[in-house]
Structure 1
Amino acid sequence: MVLRQQVKNINASGLLNLAILGVLLLLYAPILLHWLDGWLHKNISTEHEYFSHGIIGLPFAAYLSWINRKKWRRLPDTIHPLGAVFLLLGTVFYLSGVTEWVNLSLPVILVGLCLWFKGISGLGLQGFPLLLVFLATPTALPYLIAPYTSPLQSFIAGTAGFILNQFGMEVTVYEINLYVGGRIVEVAPYCAGLKMLFTTLYVGLMLLYWTDALSSRRTTISFLCIAAIVSTSANIIRNTLLTFFHGTGQEAAFRWLHEGWGGDFYSACMLVSLVPLLNWINNYFSTSPETQQEAES
């Protein structure tokens, strides 16, 4: 009788999980497909393109949740009151019809489900996948940041102009505009490299988690800071090339790097460089005298 009751409980739990998964798919599959189509074909709003790292981040989050499924089952069933609050809040967001709130309802409801079924321990187990989902959810954050990027735009314009002057090109820089060859090149807010920076930090977090380096505060801070510098430097080089192409009338090359697959290829190469960078930082700290002293003590 006990065995039969356990089988019934397992079947009921499995059916409930399938029902919840089915409801989530019905609610969010159209939204996720809309994001994916917009990110791939760049027919989504400019602000939402900033979150195109979700192409790799969301599947990775789903994969992490899947491999944690056995640990999830072993956790005691504990209902946390905040679970109901998050579920209600996510429902309100979804039913509001406001794009930003509908988007945010996904991570909010997922947090609510974790708290409702497994409590704080469940939220802790799925914490990193939930963080990846939240950071890949399109919001108005880039639109809010854009008005404050003028110092970065001016810095990029000035640096690009300085580099081109060293190669003998006559370039005049005025605020965020570069004048070269009778043409004007503007370092617009969306050319300030924020998208590349967001993607770099997002992929950096994934690499830190995958290599189990996220637990080391020193490695994490050092890697993310250097990665941000690499991203900013790569964006300066890209804007320098764009200015050179536009100023010399090479419009095909300009479009290839600015709007075509050349820009994606350039970003991909920069992201690949993060792998040896993280390996170098790990090796550096593992062989440093401070680390060896801590290990001996």
Structure 2
Amino acid sequence: MALQQQIKNTNTTQLLGIGIFSLLVLLYAPILLHWVDGWLHKTISIEHEYFSHGLIGLPFAGYLSWKHRKQWQRLPNKTHPLGIALLVIGGVFYLSGVTEWVNLSLPIILAAVCLWFKGFPGLRLQGFSLILVFLATPTAVPYLIAPYTFPLQSFIAGTAGFILNQFGMQVVVDGINIYVGGRIVEVAPYCAGLKMLFTTIYVSLMLLYWTGALSSRRVTVWFLSLAVIISVIANIIRNTLLSFFHGSGQDAAFKWLHDSWGGDLYSALMLLSLVPLLNWLDQYLSAPPETELEAEGLMSNE
């Protein structure tokens, strides 16, 4: 009887899990398809386009959750009251009709489901997947940050003008405007490299997790810091090239790098450069076990 009761409880839990998963698919499939279509065809709002790293992050989050499925099943069923609260908040956000709130309801409800079924152990198990979903969820954050990017815009414009001057071009920089050959290039708030910076940090976190380097605080801090610097430098070079193309009348090259797939290719090459950087940092900053043992031996001899 006890075995039959256990099997019955297991089947009930599985059916409930399948039902909740099916409901989530029905609720969020149209939203996710809208995101993907907007990211691929650039038909989504400029602010929400900043989260296009979700094209690689969301599938990776799904893969990690699937990879942890056996560990998930082994966790004891334990409901935490916070799960109910988050479920209510997520439901209110979804029904509000406000775009940003509806979007944010996805990571909130996913976290609620983890707490509802497995408590905090389940939330910890799926923690990184939930972080990837949250950081890929389109919100108004870029719009809120844009008014404060003026110093960065001015820095990029001044540096790009300085570089072009070194190549003998007549360049005048006025605030965020670059005058090249009588033509003006404006380093607008959305040209300040925030999108590239968001993507760089996101991909860096994925690389750190995938390689296991996320467990090393020193490697993580150094890698994220250098990744941000590389992103800023890459954006300065991109704006310099755009100013050169526009000022020299190469409109086709300007459109290719600014509006077409040239910008995506440039970003992809920059992101690929992060892989050897992480490998080098991991080897350089992680002390070999032999070295640690030798150091302990010297200390014990003293």
Shorter-chain TM-score tier: over 0.9
Deviations 1:220-256 (A, max 9, x none): 0000000000000000000000000000000000000
The CA RMSD measured in Å over matched residues stands at: 1.5
> Quick check: 23-32 or 1-10, which moved more?
1-10
**Post-superposition offset of 1:13:** 1.7
SS of 1:179's equivalent?
strand
**Post-superposition offset of 1:7:** 2.6
CA–CA separation in structure 2 for the residues paired with 1:113 and 1:72 = 12
CA–CA separation in structure 2 for the residues paired with 1:251 and 1:70 = 55
**Post-superposition offset of 1:288:** 8.0
1:248 aligns with 248
Using structure 2 for the length normalisation, give the TM-score: 0.95
From the superposition, tell whether residues 296 and 80 of structure 1 become closer, same or farther in structure 2 (CA, over 3 Å): farther
1:190 aligns with 190
1:87 aligns with 87
2:6 aligns with 6
Using structure 1 for the length normalisation, give the TM-score: 0.97
**Post-superposition offset of 1:294:** 7.8
CA–CA separation in structure 1 for the residues paired with 2:273 and 2:292 = 30
Preserved contact between residue 200 and residue 227 of structure 1 (Cα < 8 Å): yes
1:54 aligns with 54
SS of 1:29's equivalent?
helix
2:34 aligns with 34
Please show how residues 239-278 of structure 1 align to structure 2 within 5 Å. 239-278=239-278
CA–CA separation in structure 2 for the residues paired with 1:195 and 1:276 = 22
CA–CA separation in structure 1 for the residues paired with 2:140 and 2:293 = 44
Deviations 1:137-195 (A, max 9, x none): 00000000000000000000000000000000000001000001110000000000000
Please show how residues 95-244 of structure 1 align to structure 2 within 5 Å. 95-244=95-244
Counting matched residue pairs gives 296
CA–CA separation in structure 2 for the residues paired with 1:295 and 1:114 = 44
2:300 aligns with none
Q: Which runs of 5+ in 1 are unaligned?
A: none
SS of 2:214's equivalent?
coil
SS of 2:172's equivalent?
strand
Preserved contact between residue 87 and residue 113 of structure 1 (Cα < 8 Å): yes
CA–CA separation in structure 2 for the residues paired with 1:295 and 1:93 = 57
Q: Which letter does structure 2 place at the counterpart of 1:45?
A: S
CA–CA separation in structure 2 for the residues paired with 1:70 and 1:188 = 49
**Post-superposition offset of 1:17:** 1.1
SS of 1:184's equivalent?
strand
Preserved contact between residue 286 and residue 292 of structure 1 (Cα < 8 Å): no
